[in-house]
Structure formats: structure tokens, C-alpha cells
Amino acid sequence: MTVTTQADTFSVQYLAAEDISIAASLIYQAYHDDPILQTMLNYEQESKSAYEKKLRSLIREELSSFWQEKQPLIGLYRNDKLKAVACVFESNSQLQAQRYWHWRLKLMLSAGYLQTNQLIDKEQTIRDALEQQGNYYFLAFIAVDPHFHGQGFGRYLLRGLNDLVQSNAESTGMAVFVTRKEHTQFFKTEGFESFKQLTFNKIAGELLFKSKN
């Protein structure tokens, strides 16, 4: 999807390999204060630097697994510069909660055994809740350059993801799990509907689903 304005050209496309590090930085900034990740990565017990190291490792391993399994890493480019990124996977892909052994080993060494298992349990719980939805996409991460918040970049990106869903004849829709009310409202304005309330480590969130038209 490409949109051209008087001043800029916006395009939503698959991430280029050279933009992976920029994508990791955008995701890190967007999820630094995520309450579930803070709880699972022991933010209150760890020093700030230790927490941030674990978070960077988690994001690095997640992006690596998405790339290796050829799951969609979608970027919003403004004049050919990456400004927002989304990581999604198909529910019937090999990128499942029981990650392949080398991913799990790397993450255990960097983030910790307990934290890794908590993350895997979280993903499996979400998969179980969505089991009746067939083959859907799950939006694992979405991040916008903080310098451009409030300018509609996230909406451009979501609409590009909608094109991805529509182009897949086997897809039933897209799901996302959010923990903040403002994020819930944002997704609902883009057609997502409440599906189920879930709680992880005493942090409540909402599972949303947008059915394919």
C-alpha cells in the first residue's frame, strides 16, 4: 500500500534486512514500559540496566525468529525511511509457543529460565483462547517512531496489515492483545472488537479480534 501526499510518500511493505536494527529500536522504545513485560522481566527486582538488557535480548531474539521463519515483518516507510513497524505471525505457522530449541536456549540465557517460560505460557494461553478462529494473524508487536506519535502513522500501518489479511484466502482475521485502555480504543476505531479478557501475573488485558470482511 502506497499513499502520496503533497509533501511525502508513505508505503507499507515488508521490512528490508538493513532495517532490522531500526525496527528493534522502535519496538524497544514502544515496549519499554509495557506492564506485562516489566512484570515478567522482573523490572522491580532488577536494576534498570539489567531490565533493559533483558528487554533488548528478548526483542532481538523475537525479530530473529520472525525473520528466520519468514513471518511478516511489515514497515511503514516515509520517503523510504522506516517510521513504524509491525510483527505478525500466522497461527498455523511454525512460530509457535514452544519455540524451536535454539531460540528458547538463547532467550533463557539472556532473559532467564522463568521469564522465558512465562512468555511462552502467555502466548499459549492466547492461542488457546483463539483456537476456534481457525488460521488468523496475530499482531505481536507494533511500534511507531516516538517523534511521530499522533500523526496517524499507526493507522497507515494497520490498514496495510488489513491488506495482508485480505490477500490471504485462508486467513480469518487478525488478533492483538493489549493492556492499556487507550490502545484498546485505538484498535477498536480500526475495526477490532473485544474477544476475551485475560490476566497474566495480575496484569489484566484485552484480547481483540478483527474478522476478515
> Residue 50: its pLDDT value, please?
87
**Domain ranges within the chain, ordered by starting residue:** 8-152
For 173, left (φ over 0), alpha (ψ -120 to 50), or beta?
left
Percent of the chain with pLDDT over 90: 48
> Residue 2: its pLDDT value, please?
61
Least confident range of 53-57, 165-169, 176-180, 192-196? 53-57
According to DSSP, the β-strands at 2-4 and 9-14 are antiparallel
The rounded distance, in Å, linking the Cα atoms of 213 and 173 is 8
> Residue 3: its pLDDT value, please?
57
Asked if the model's pLDDT at residue 25 lies above 90, the reply is yes
Average pLDDT value for the chain: 85
The rounded distance, in Å, linking the Cα atoms of 137 and 30 is 21
SS3 212: coil
Least confident range of 2-11, 40-49, 73-82, 134-143? 2-11
pLDDT digits (tens, 9 = 90+) for 125-157: 888 999 999 999 999 999 999 999 988 899 999
pLDDT digits (tens, 9 = 90+) for 66-124: 888 888 999 999 988 999 999 998 888 765 544 544 555 566 555 566 666 777 778 88
pLDDT tier at 211, thresholds 50, 70, 90: very high
The rounded distance, in Å, linking the Cα atoms of 16 and 183 is 27
**Which positions ≥6 away from 188 have C-beta within 8 Å?**
194, 208
Place of cell 533483558: 54
> Residue 66: its pLDDT value, please?
86
Question: Burial level of 22, CB count in 10 A (0-12/13-18/19+)?
Answer: middle
CATH fold of 8-152 reads Aminopeptidase (3.40.630)
**Which positions ≥6 away from 178 have C-beta within 8 Å?**
184, 187, 205, 206, 208
